[in-house]
Amino acid sequence: MAEDVIPPFSVRNRGAHAQIDNDFPETARTGLFYLLRRLVEKNYVAEWKEVHIELQRIGRVKPEEFDNTSPQELLFALRWDKILDFCERIHSHLAQEASHYNRQTEEWELDAPRSEVQKYVADELQRLFLEEYLAFEFSNGRVRRRGRRHTADQVSRAELVLGEPRLSAARAHFNKALRYFGNVAQPDYENVVKEAVCATEATARVLFPEGGPTLGDVVKSITGSEIGELPKPIAKTFDGLYGFRNAGEGVGHGGATGGAVTKELAEYALAVSASQIILLVDLAAAAEPEVPF
């Protein structure tokens, strides 16, 4: 999960506009430059020379051009995904413990350990991403594609129930879906849908082995009005997502014309799949006979 940084008013007041994807706009670069200046002033990174060298390394500046560009020029010239690489390097490489020399005691005194500096960097980067309405978040030292809080909550719960050993195949599919969705440089939304639905299907087949070989078969076998069964209207939601997995363009079958998979649809499929997995686990638990003691 990302650091708990509250979005500023300007973002909360923006409404449901699309997040900025596949870009790191000029205003975000300006904000990042001022963050770097603050980090140098607080001694949270060694000095501008280290920042300059890292920007040149990431930008693959030729040695003969080494001294011809300033850090600011490099920052504004970098490709957008390389800037996100640089954000990760600020946290993992440039961040250092901050200390000062006390002339009275003639000793160095610690102002902030490196872990505290890294937390400050992570919080400030996350704040910048929120302010700029980027489709990314900074968490655990890495840039990840951002999902809505509801999606994150459902995914976390699904990951918990998928920890059961017999659901290892479903967990592998679900983890693939998360990786495809979270890939910053090259997200694969079609495979997000495919792997998310495969995770649901694998869960259903393990929990209800008598139901049949496909998700549709299992759902049909457990549809009903008794405890441990799926009410028919809810069962249709399984059919709908499974149908999109087969009909969505580039998802299941070549030449399918069921609609293009956008980032929003991929996230919806991921969240619904997580909810369906949780529901299937709950239904299977409810159907198990109580063991007398």
* Position with higher pLDDT, 228 vs 121: 121
Q: What local confidence, expressed as pLDDT, does residue 186 receive?
A: 80
- % of the chain residues with pLDDT over 90: 59
Region 147-287: CATH code: 1.20.120
Task: State yes or no: pLDDT of 265 exceeds 70.
Answer: yes
Token pair for 110: 């610690």
Query: CB count, 10 Å around CB of 58?
Result: 16
| DSSP H helices in 23-134 | 26-41, 48-58, 71-77, 80-89, 114-131
pLDDT of residue 15: 55
* pLDDT reported for residue 55: 94
Best mean pLDDT range from 77-91, 148-162, 274-288? 77-91
Predicted pLDDT at 164: 93
Kindly indicate the confidence band of residue 88, based on its pLDDT and cuts at 50, 70 and 90.
very high
Give the residue ranges of DSSP H helices in the chain.
9-12, 26-41, 48-58, 71-77, 80-89, 114-131, 149-161, 168-182, 189-207, 215-221, 232-247, 263-287
Condensed to tens digits (0 to 9), the pLDDT of residues 13-63 reads 665 556 787 899 999 999 999 999 999 999 999 889 999 999 999 999 888
| pLDDT at position 89 | 97
Residue 2 has pLDDT above 60, yes or no: no
Parse the chain into domains and list their residue ranges: 9-144, 147-287
Q: N- to C-terminal Cα distance for the chain?
A: 41
Return d(Cα 147, Cα 20) in angstroms, integer. Answer: 13
pLDDT tens profile 93-129: 999 999 988 888 888 899 999 999 999 999 999 999 9
Q: Does the pLDDT at position 217 exceed 50? A: yes
Q: Please give the share of the chain, as a percent, with pLDDT higher than 70.
A: 88
Residue 247 predicted with pLDDT over 70: no
Position 14 scores a pLDDT of 62
Task: Find all residues with CB under 8 Å of 225, minimum gap 6, and list them.
Answer: 231
Q: Is the pLDDT of residue 6 over 90?
A: no
Nearest residue to 9 (alpha-carbon basis) of 131, 177, 150: 131
pLDDT at 229 (0 to 100): 85
Average pLDDT over all residues of the chain: 87
Q: Is the per-residue pLDDT at 252 higher than 60?
A: no
Lowest mean pLDDT among 9-13, 157-161, 254-258: 254-258
pLDDT for the residue 194: 92
